[in-house]
Amino acid sequence: MKFRANLVIGGVLFAGVIIAGIFAPWLAHTDPVMDANLLYAEEPPGSEFWFGTDAQGRDIYSRVLHGARISLTVGIVSQLINTVIGVALGLSAGYWGGWWDDVVNGLTNMMLAIPSLIFALAIMAILNPGLTSLLIALGLTNWSFTCRLARASALSLKSQGYVQAAKVLGYGDIRIMLTQLLPNMLGPIIVIGTLGMGGAVLAEAALSFLGLGIRPPYPSWGSMLSDARDQITTAPWISIFPGLAIFMTVLGLNLLGDGLRDILDPQARTRRA
Amino acid sequence: MNNSSNDTILKVEDLAVHFPVGGGLLGRSRRYLHAVDGVDLELKRGECLGLVGESGCGKSTLALTILGLQEPTRGRIVLDGHEVAREGMDRKARARIAQMVFQDPYSSLNPRQTVRRTLEAPLRLHGITTPSEIDGRIAEMLGRVGLRPDHAERYPHEFSGGQRQRIGIARALILDPKIIVLDEPVSALDVSIRAQIINLLLELQETLGLSYLMISHDLGVVEHMSDRVAVMYLGRIVETGGWETIFTNPRHPYTRALISAIPDPFKRSRGDKITGEIPNPLNMPTGCGFHPRCPEAREICRPSPVPELQEVGEAHLVRCRRVHEIAAPRGALVSSG
Amino acid sequence: MTGQPILEVENLRIDLALGGKRFPAVQDVSFTIDRGETLGLVGESGCGKSITALSLIGLLRDPLMIGGGTIRFNGREIQNLSASEMRKLRGNRISMIFQEPMTALNPLSPVGRQIAEMFVLHKGASWNEAEKLAVEALASVRVPAPERRVKDYPHQLSGGMRQRVMIAIALACGPDLLLADEPTTALDVTVQAEILDLIRELSSAKGTAVLMISHDLGLIANMCRRVGVMYAGRLVEERNAEDVFRSPSHPYTRGLVASLPQLGARARHGRQRLKEIAGVVPPVSAFPEGCRFNPRCYASTERCRAEDPGVTALGDGSFVRCHHHE
């Protein structure tokens, strides 16, 4: 197989974030929330505090590691919810057509007309800030692309001979969707899902930055950036490192998505031998 | 004609399929495309009925309706003694009676399933769950269609077109159905592979006592495989009879035109060719649907209604008002030479 | 036969570049077409018949390229012509019609304009004259009401009508050679018969030579005086059309003729089991050593597996490429 730079770089970056998140309690030097010590406030990066400390004297290195947990949880879980909703609606709409298709289409167009971040903002304003609310807000607002993709794939796949054959063999509609259609549209859906995950990480950061996501003192990258606003000229490391973490994670996910698109391209997979 | 006897496996009566076309949104009058328009058909146990016609004649829609992939607008379908509509026959029950072999061996197999999964899933669905029985049925079926047992673990892209068609045939046979609809079973295959599949289908028909409804535009294949032939034009059957009758003594001008349109390698003339194109089915001619292209058309052919099928010989029906005035073919069209 | 042939192809080789390697998709193909003559090329998908036609008008695209041999058109070698010189030839002196006319026609331009374009491009006609000539051209391919049809877009026409438009475009400039690649495969039989008659009549009226390509042996024999049979990139047999059916020489041709259900055969002889050709058509990357048909041949010997057979002349310009014919 050809060497694919985007797949490898994206994979390494994303794997790094996952490792950081999983092993944060062991890799971190201090507790990200409790170990505030005003004696060491705003220390620049050095041998003791690798990324420096913030205004409360907390170790930024440890907080960035723990922040990976929140970002990953939000990215993966909310995107999973989006994907399940999008695939369920799109697949069934494309396969069944008729009035159900009209309903799903209307819903999708509505979702596309409202900027998803604004929608999430509104949901967060109603719910209490916190991780669960964040997952709900981001998981309900970003399924329209997946839905469109699933619907288009279902429309083109349902006329394939093997789908007709499954009907003739007596398969029920749900079984046909799950065993015949879904596996054949999974490639592009994984790609969209990966790219969407990067979007969710950014959205979490934005919401937390605005104070509607993860509340301080919990170390979300977005809330860390928000806290660091006032020191951006005096102690730039407080904002640089969480910012860099967001940048690397989103870049990694986008490269990974692009790389997956190349290898999951159905044309390349089902090429006639 | 009306007593449905025991040796009839499939009976279709006055079947029609109309598709709404365009418009239709809130009150605007819908137009209907009459894809199949009053077809009567009988398939006997163990016989092969060839269904012939050009694109848009309704032969594929007719087949899909028989299999339950298309809702009929009106008419009766009786599968192996069960009237589909009245008994509310479900997909699974229908699946055990009638199956289908598709034209394109590439798009008709799920690229993400091994041959084993393709054959195993329907068995499980229909209540055969013992692993040993499943393995036995799959191995037996692969053997019947000329594949090796180890082929079961492979994916479709590892096979050639001919082998894929064998897999498609195995899938159609795995539930032991009685009727197989063959939709252009060899036309997508390489020419040098077609004989293998035709021979296989004829062998299977004999050993398993299958009944075939074969759709094809290749008259050579139809003549070779069919016991009876039905010719369709614009949603209606225009001539039906035994294969020998149809090929040596065709009486409908359209059937004659179809036969004479096949290029003869020895450049013999087979009769009159026709001109013009198949009319837009949304704008059907009055009277006989074929009259605008028919070399024998006269004034009598134009007025409504559609001419009836009339018997001109033993089990030989022709839908033509002038059938007794048109000269019998000069000699037999195809038996010379 | 007068003068020099319109087309002479000698030892044509077409390479397929695949994963850093070059495979000969077409090799040692030689044939000539006389002025006004119709030559048929018959073979299965992947035998190289279509890319042979494309190579004649410089339409091969990566990963396919001419790997050797000469193509002489009107006595002039054209295999190395520059793109601009080839453009002058293409559509003007050599033209081509394809299987699916919809993909060969511009969907956004009325068909009359697409025909007129040929006169403007190659004959220096003004658009006004060209539009008039386009109506005549449509009439010549027997499109009813041509003065109205010229304004139609391709999607408004039936498959048969579109193929007529393609023929009108191809024959607009009175080319010396028409390449017809499966021109009727996508059409219904009754329409096919009309299109074939049209090609036959127009080419003989204008003295256009035709290279007719098809997988349908019966069609090729019906349309052509001489027939070349291709298998796995080789011309394995070239014969007079009737001889191909009556007494095929190459085992592959014999197999093909015997394996097809011939219309009328059952009525004459009863239903006989069709003779099968074993095996499958090999892909270009796996052409066998020696004679390329040997793995599927009933007469295959040690020599067929080791040594590539040369050409054996059979008289009157016919030949066969088989060890058993020496």
Q: Does B50 touch chain C (CB under 8 A)?
A: no
Tokens read off for A178: 């799950």
Residue given tokens 């009277």 in the structure block: B287
In tens, the pLDDT along C203-218 reads 989 899 999 999 998 8
User: Does any domain span residue A54?
Assistant: no
Q: Is A165 on the interface with B (CB under 8 A)?
A: yes
What residues pair up with C209 in beta bridges, in sequence order?
C177
User: B95–A169: do the CB atoms touch at under 8 Å?
Assistant: yes
CATH T-level assignment (fold) for domain C7-81+177-190+207-325:
Rossmann fold (3.40.50)
Residue A182 maps to a domain: yes
* Interchain proximity B106–A179, CB inside 8 Å: no
Average pLDDT rounded to a whole number, residues B24-47: 81
Domain chopping of chain C, boundaries: 7-81+177-190+207-325
- Reported as a single tens digit per residue, the pLDDT across B197-234 is 999 999 999 999 999 999 998 899 999 999 999 999 99
Domain holding A134, by residue range, is 71-239
pTM, two decimal places: 0.87
Inter-chain residue contact C222 with B265, CB threshold 8 Å: yes
Query: Where exactly are the structural domains of chain B?
Result: 253-337
Closest by Cα among A150, A244, A133 to A188: A150
B188 touches C at CB < 8 Å: no
B217 in Cβ contact with C189 (< 8 Å): yes
We report the CATH number of the domain holding residue A174 as 1.10.3720.10
- Using alpha carbons, select from C266, A168, A45 the residue that is nearest to residue B118: A168
Residue A3 lies in a domain: no
**Percent of chain C whose pLDDT exceeds 90:** 64
At B235, the pLDDT band (50, 70, 90 cuts) reads: very high
What are the tens digits of pLDDT across the range A199-208? 888 888 888 8
pLDDT band at B29 (very low <50, low <70, confident <90, very high): low
Average the pLDDT over each of B55-59, B66-70, B326-330, C107-111 and give the range with the smallest value. Answer: B326-330
Instruction: Please answer yes or no on whether B195 and C196 come within 8 Å at the CB atom.
Output: no
Q: Which residues pair with C66 in a beta bridge?
A: C14
| A2 domain-assigned | no
Q: Which of B55-59, C116-120, C286-290 has the lowest mean pLDDT?
A: B55-59
- Which comes out higher in pLDDT, residue A27 or B249? B249
Mean pLDDT, all residues of chain C? 91
Q: Please tell me which residue of chain A has the smallest CA distance to B159.
A: A273
C-beta atoms of B263 and C223 within 8 A: yes
Position A77 scores a pLDDT of 93
Residues with Cβ within 8 Å of residue B219, at least 6 apart in sequence: B52, B247, B258, B259, B262, C189, C263
Our CA-based measurement puts residue B228 at a distance from the nearest CA of chain C, in whole angstroms, of 13
* Three-class HEC string of A99-137: HHHHHHHHHHHHHHHCCHHHHHHHHHHHCCCCHHHHHHH
Quote the DSSP letter at residue A195.
H
User: Which residues from A are below 8 Å from B175, CB to CB?
Assistant: 169-170
**Chain B residues with CB-CB distance to A under 8 A?**
67-69, 90-96, 98-100, 102-104, 106-113, 121-122, 125-126, 157-160, 168, 171-172, 175
Q: Which of A164-178, B16-30, B120-134, C113-127 has the lowest mean pLDDT?
A: B16-30
pLDDT band at A27 (very low <50, low <70, confident <90, very high): confident
Chain C residue with CA closest to B268: the answer is C222
Chain Cα centroid distance, residue B4: 21
Cβ contact C194–B275 (<8 Å): yes
Residues of B in contact with A171 (CB under 8 A): 91, 121-122, 125
Please check whether residue A10 lies inside any domain of the structure: no
Q: Number of structural domains, chain A? A: 1
C54, C60 contact by CB (below 8 A): yes
Give the separation between CA B180 and CA B194, rounded to whole angstroms.
18
Chains A–B, number of C-beta pairs less than 8 Å apart: 76
Nearest CB to A161 within list B68, B91, B102: B102
Q: Which two tokens stand for residue C146?
A: 């041509």
Q: What are phi and psi of A54, to 5 degrees?
A: -95, -170
Please report which confidence band the pLDDT of residue A144 belongs to, taking 50, 70 and 90 as the band edges.
Answer: very high
For B94-140, the pLDDT digits (tens) are 999 999 999 999 999 999 999 999 999 999 999 999 999 999 999 99
Neighboring chains of A (3 or more beta-carbon pairs < 8 A): B
| Contact yes or no for A169 and B109 at CB 8 A | no
Q: Is residue A198 part of a domain?
A: yes
pLDDT in tens, C222-244: 999 999 999 999 999 999 998 98
Nearest chain A Cα distance for residue B196, angstroms: 20
The complex's ipTM?
A: 0.87
Report the alpha-carbon distance of residue B225 to residue C266 in Å, rounded: 9
Q: Does residue C85 or residue C326 have the better pLDDT?
A: C85
Confidence label for A241 from pLDDT (cuts 50, 70 and 90): confident
Q: What is the pLDDT of residue B2?
A: 43
Is B238 in contact with B231 (CB distance < 8 Å)?
yes
Q: How would residue B330 be classed by pLDDT, with cut points 50, 70 and 90? A: low
Hunting for tokens 């053997």 — which residue is that? B143
- The answer as to whether A259 is a domain residue is no
Dihedral sign, Cα of residue A225, residue A230, residue A232, residue A234: negative
- Strand, helix or coil for residue B63: helix
Contact B116, B152 (CB under 8 A): yes
Residue B261 touches chain C, beta carbons under 8 Å:
yes
